[in-house]
Structure 1
Amino acid sequence: MSPPTSTTTSNAQSASATTNESSSKPTGAGVNTGAGSTREKTAAELEADRLYEERMEDEYAKRDGGA
């Protein structure tokens, strides 16, 4: 026996409505993230960058000296 056609039709209609609703809204990477905009770094971010650069310089110095 096959399922009633009214159930199949209503499922297809609801799937179509869902697809139409989601396609009208932008999705994906970069949506509402402020991509392309810049801001000043905070003092904590600047300090973290400075420490990171110092550590990287130390690491490169170790590799150059030990190779």
Structure 2
Amino acid sequence: MNQHSSLTAEQRLAAVDLFEEGFGRRAVSSRLGVSVWAVEGLEKRFKIWGRAALDSQPTKQAYSF
């Protein structure tokens, strides 16, 4: 996960659990006590990747020439 994220690893895991239960971004943000903006980014990744949104991704793509 992005090192500049305002959510801790525990908060991200709890947010994904709540998304799977059917909660929206506003409900998740109020339950966790974090900003809607931080949860919104995670929700977008979760909708595309599912639980894989919690995995770390390299920030720069390396190409062999």
TM-score tier (shorter): under 0.3
Greater RCO between the two (CA within 8 Å, min separation 6)? Answer: 2
Largest Rg, 1 or 2: 1
Q: TM-score, normalised by structure 1?
A: 0.25
